[in-house]
Amino acid sequence: MKAVRKNRVALSFFSHRQLTMAVLIGGLLMASRGWAQPQPLTFVGLQNQEPIGNYYDGGFGGFGSGPGPNYGITFGPEAVAGTGNVEAPDGDTVAMLINGPSVVMNDPAGFNTAFSFYYFASEPGEVAVYSGLNDTGSLLTSFPLFVTIPPVQPFYSWTGAGSLFSGTAQSVDFTGTANDIRFVYVSRGVLVLPEPASLGILVLAAAGFLRRRPRPKA
């Protein structure tokens, strides 16, 4: 059995001032050097209870919505879009929900550095990131999903979650009780912040720069 180092990160580790500066400096760095992060998956454009399927591979959802953006990403049949008692962080009303014991997201081109999203849950779950397709290869990182709301409606308590990791990932497994965990702003390569309304996306390179900067001499 392989020993796996789980590269977890505390999303509340940085102060509000550091996070603000990280976003500002990171934005300037990406603008000046031409850096671009993969677009987050918001699931806008899909219908309620529509299987996501190949929508993010430039194809169509299970009810014919699309064609969607061509990000090279596919989802297993248990992943569906959900509306109704959902209000995403920016006011949209679409999220991904697990319509079975687990969902696999495949990204053959691969991504690195981090994986994150916003979620709410009335039951616990877990997310695992693998180096190969369909949960194969090495386990790069995994982290739990804690209950964020009581099992009553409405469902508006979004929480940021994610992890750093080493290597290149090609698949992610979302595990949890059917219909009790929902996801939005699924992001590759960056970490989202704990509070969706505050700062948006944390730029990792800039945050690391701020933490490593030398202290002024007395």
Return the closest-CA partner of residue 172 out of 181, 162, 180.
162
Q: What is the pLDDT, as a whole number, of residue 202?
A: 44
Average pLDDT estimate for 8-14? 37
At the topology level, CATH places domain 40-212 in Jelly Rolls (2.60.120)
Average pLDDT estimate for 128-138? 98
The model's pTM: 0.73
Return the closest-CA partner of residue 116 out of 58, 180, 13, 38.
38
Q: What is the pLDDT of residues 80-103, one digit of tens each?
A: 998 756 666 655 657 788 787 899
Q: What is the pLDDT, as a whole number, of residue 216?
A: 53
Which of the four pLDDT bands, split at 50, 70 and 90, describes residue 205?
very low
